[in-house]
């Protein structure tokens, strides 16, 4: 155990997004590694924009990711009296004054040094700062006052937040000094940019954690990828479980330059976790994910399909798109391929023969038999397997790449296979 106490302080004015959750994760990792506490505070003093729905969404996303917090959730809206009291204290000490119904903090003119764990020492000259409104005329505190009072009252020792808050920090330090409080230590995390070099936003695709959840990403995949947004272990290791991250994470290894969000890497990391998880977890989770979203099929068939596709998908949500031919008739969208097969008299001849040979089988249960029978057809004609298998795959699935064709034929079943083959040949 240590005395380290950090917090994540989201405003419930929107969904939990990639930037916010990366901040939450780094706080969490630091606290868990140091044996400290990770606290959660809802900054809901913006009455117009804060909603209980956003708060629930944020809490739900944190829980889904397994970022469990300590102690009781703090709401700023429940602490308004306390902010008023502190503001009055500053007024009575002559360090703040009333101005058009609001209260302004008198910025002392001095040099302010921020010692940042990631960026080192950053010096500000407060002569450049205007006096700071800390209480609005409606009796609500401004962010700067609420944050300082809360962090002090909650015993926060380290503030780990986005670099966008760095310019606020010297003002907060001046408030701590005016109140005679000890300032926490600071670590400002690099901002997250898209591939085009602009700050990550909706334009770059999904930004809310819940969107990733709905697409069928794994919490452990997302966590792993988020950890790499601004941090690396200094070794080639890229795949981490949450406990491994807790062990290896260090604020000192957080980069100073901007982090770049790379969706392809996120998919890849997620795929690694999907393949590493125990088979029964994979089966249970992907089945739950697709429940009621895909037409029902016999359990045995479903289990074979998801096993077949486990090495081929990176998120659960990709399954439907990749296995569409189990649910709908192939569309043969590749006109060049379709034409090539139809115009190839040899292939067409082989396919006709295959249709006949397969038609004489009782069922398609035995993958070996399907394999043998198909090969016989090609060999008898003195040709190579691929002369038949490529067109066959395309006709049965509408695709040029799939898992093993005989396994697929067995899963599709005799009736479907023969129907598709006959329809294409007619
Ligand atoms: N509510 C602030 C935000 O969402 C957090 C500020 C802080 O971490 O100090 O940006």
pLDDT digits (tens, 9 = 90+) for 19-74: 999 999 999 999 999 999 999 999 999 989 999 999 999 999 999 999 999 999 99
Question: Is the C-beta atom of 41 inside 6 A of ligand 1?
Answer: no
- What is the position in ligand 1's atom list of the atom closest to the CA of 168? 9
Q: Which of 280, 294, 360 is nearest to 327 (CA)?
A: 294
Provide the pLDDT for residue 2: 83
Residue 102 belongs to some domain of the structure: no
Residue 312 belongs to some domain of the structure: no
Q: Are residues 381 and 248 in the same domain?
A: no
Provide the pLDDT for residue 1: 65
Contact 314, 267 (CB under 8 A): yes
Residue 232 belongs to some domain of the structure: yes
Question: Is the C-beta atom of 45 inside 6 A of ligand 1?
Answer: no
pLDDT tens, residue by residue, 258-309 = 999 999 999 999 999 999 999 999 999 999 999 999 999 999 999 999 999 9
C-alpha count within 13 angstroms, C-beta hemisphere, residue 116: 27
Mean pLDDT (the chain, rounded)? 96
Residue 193: enclosing H or E segment and its boundaries?
strand 192-193
pLDDT, mean of residues 363-374: 96
Q: Please report, for the domain that includes residue 339, its CATH number.
A: 1.10.10.350
Residue 46 belongs to some domain of the structure: yes
Ligand 1: which residue has its CA nearest to atom 4?
10
CA of 101 to the centre of ligand 1 (A): 26
C-alpha count within 13 angstroms, C-beta hemisphere, residue 324: 10
Q: At what angle do helices 405-412 and 385-397 cross, to 10 degrees?
A: 40
pLDDT, mean of residues 416-421: 98
Q: Please report, for the domain that includes residue 245, its CATH number.
A: 3.40.50.620
Phi, psi for residue 53 in degrees, rounded to 5: -65, -45
pLDDT, mean of residues 149-160: 98
pLDDT tens, residue by residue, 79-92 = 999 999 999 999 99
Catalytically annotated residue among 202, 252, 291, 293: 202
CA of 313 to the centre of ligand 1 (A): 36
Q: Which of 201, 193, 161 is nearest to 257 (CA)?
A: 193
| Three-point CA angle 244, 246, 247, nearest 5° | 65
Q: Confidence band (pLDDT; 50, 70, 90) for 249?
A: very high
Any catalytic annotation for residue 384?
no
Residue 323 belongs to some domain of the structure: no
Q: Are residues 341 and 196 in the same domain?
A: no
Q: Are residues 202 and 63 in the same domain?
A: yes
Question: Is the C-beta atom of 40 inside 6 A of ligand 1?
Answer: no
Calculate the CA 187 to chain-centre distance. 23
Q: Are residues 71 and 216 in the same domain?
A: yes
Question: Is the C-beta atom of 10 inside 6 A of ligand 1?
Answer: yes
Residue 151 belongs to some domain of the structure: no
Q: Express as a percent the part of the chain with pLDDT over 70.
A: 100
CA of 266 to the centre of ligand 1 (A): 25
Provide the pLDDT for residue 386: 87
Q: Are residues 352 and 216 in the same domain?
A: no
pLDDT, mean of residues 356-362: 96
Ligand 1: which residue has its CA nearest to atom 10?
10
pLDDT tens, residue by residue, 196-243 = 999 999 899 889 999 999 999 999 999 999 999 999 999 999 999 999
pLDDT tens, residue by residue, 100-117 = 999 999 999 999 999 999
With a CB cutoff of 8 Å and minimum separation 6, the contacts of 71 are 37, 39
Residue 169 belongs to some domain of the structure: no
Q: Are residues 340 and 421 in the same domain?
A: yes
pLDDT tens, residue by residue, 161-196 = 999 999 999 999 999 999 999 999 999 999 999 999
What global pTM score does this model have?
A: 0.94
Which residue has 């770049």 as its token pair?
260
Domain stops at, among 235, 253, 276: 276
Q: Express as a percent the part of the chain with pLDDT over 90.
A: 97
Range of the domain at 384: 335-425
CA of 10 to the centre of ligand 1 (A): 6
pLDDT at 374 > cutoff 90: yes
Question: Is the C-beta atom of 11 inside 6 A of ligand 1?
Answer: yes
Q: Could you give the number of structural domains in the chain?
A: 2
Residue 260 belongs to some domain of the structure: yes
First CA to last CA distance, the chain: 75
Question: Is the C-beta atom of 187 inside 6 A of ligand 1?
Answer: no
Provide the pLDDT for residue 404: 95
CA of 231 to the centre of ligand 1 (A): 20
Q: Confidence band (pLDDT; 50, 70, 90) for 153?
A: very high
3-class DSSP assignment, residue 266: helix
Q: What is the CA radius of gyration of the chain?
A: 30
Provide the pLDDT for residue 205: 87
Provide the pLDDT for residue 210: 97
Cα distance between residue 174 and residue 185, in whole Å:
14
Domain stops at, among 252, 276, 300: 276
Q: Are residues 352 and 229 in the same domain?
A: no
């Amino acid at each position: 155990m240590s005395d380290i106490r950090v917090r994540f302080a989201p405003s419930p004015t929107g969904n939990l997004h990639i930037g916010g959750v990366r901040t939450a994760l780094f706080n969490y990792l630091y606290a868990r590694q140091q044996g400290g506490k990770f606290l959660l505070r809802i900054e809901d003093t913006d009455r117009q924009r804060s909603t209980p729905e956003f708060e629930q969404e944020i809490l739900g996303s944190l829980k889904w990711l397994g970022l469990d917090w300590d102690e009781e959730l703090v709401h700023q809206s429940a602490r308004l009296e306390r902010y008023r009291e502190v503001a009055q204290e500053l007024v009575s000490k002559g360090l703040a004054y009333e101005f058009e119904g609001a209260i302004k903090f008198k910025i002392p003119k001095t040099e302010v040094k921020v010692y940042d764990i990631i960026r080192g020492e950053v010096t500000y000259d407060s002569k450049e700062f205007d006096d700071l409104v800390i209480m609005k005329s409606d009796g609500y505190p401004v962010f700067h006052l609420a944050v300082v009072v809360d962090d002090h009252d909650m015993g926060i020792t380290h503030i780990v937040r986005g670099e966008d808050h760095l310019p606020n920090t010297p003002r907060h330090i001046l408030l701590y000094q005016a109140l005679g409080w000890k300032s926490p230590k600071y670590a400002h995390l690099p901002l997250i940019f898209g591939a085009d070099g602009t700050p990550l936003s909706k334009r770059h695709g999904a930004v809310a954690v819940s969107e990733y959840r709905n697409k069928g990403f794994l919490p452990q995949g997302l966590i792993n990828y988020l950890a790499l947004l601004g941090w690396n272990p200094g070794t080639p290791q890229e795949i981490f479980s949450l406990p491994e991250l807790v062990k290896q994470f260090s604020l000192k290894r957080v980069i100073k330059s901007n982090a770049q969000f790379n969706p392809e890497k996120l998919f890849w990391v997620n795929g690694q976790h999907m393949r590493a998880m125990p088979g029964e977890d994979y089966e249970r989770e992907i089945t739950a994910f697709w429940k009621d979203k895909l037409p029902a099929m016999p359990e045995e068939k479903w289990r074979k399909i998801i096993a077949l596709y486990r090495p081929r998908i990176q998120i659960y949500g990709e399954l439907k798109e990749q296995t569409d031919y189990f649910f709908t008739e192939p569309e043969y969208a590749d006109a060049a391929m379709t034409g090539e097969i139809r115009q190839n008299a040899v292939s067409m001849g082989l396919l006709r023969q295959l249709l006949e040979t397969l038609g004489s089988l009782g069922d398609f249960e035995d993958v070996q038999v399907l394999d043998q029978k198909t090969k016989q057809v090609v060999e008898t004609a003195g040709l190579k397997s691929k002369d038949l298998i490529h067109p066959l795959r395309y006709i049965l699935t509408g695709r040029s790449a799939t898992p093993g064709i005989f396994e697929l034929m067995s899963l599709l079943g005799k009736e479907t296979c023969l129907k598709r083959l006959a329809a294409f040949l007619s």
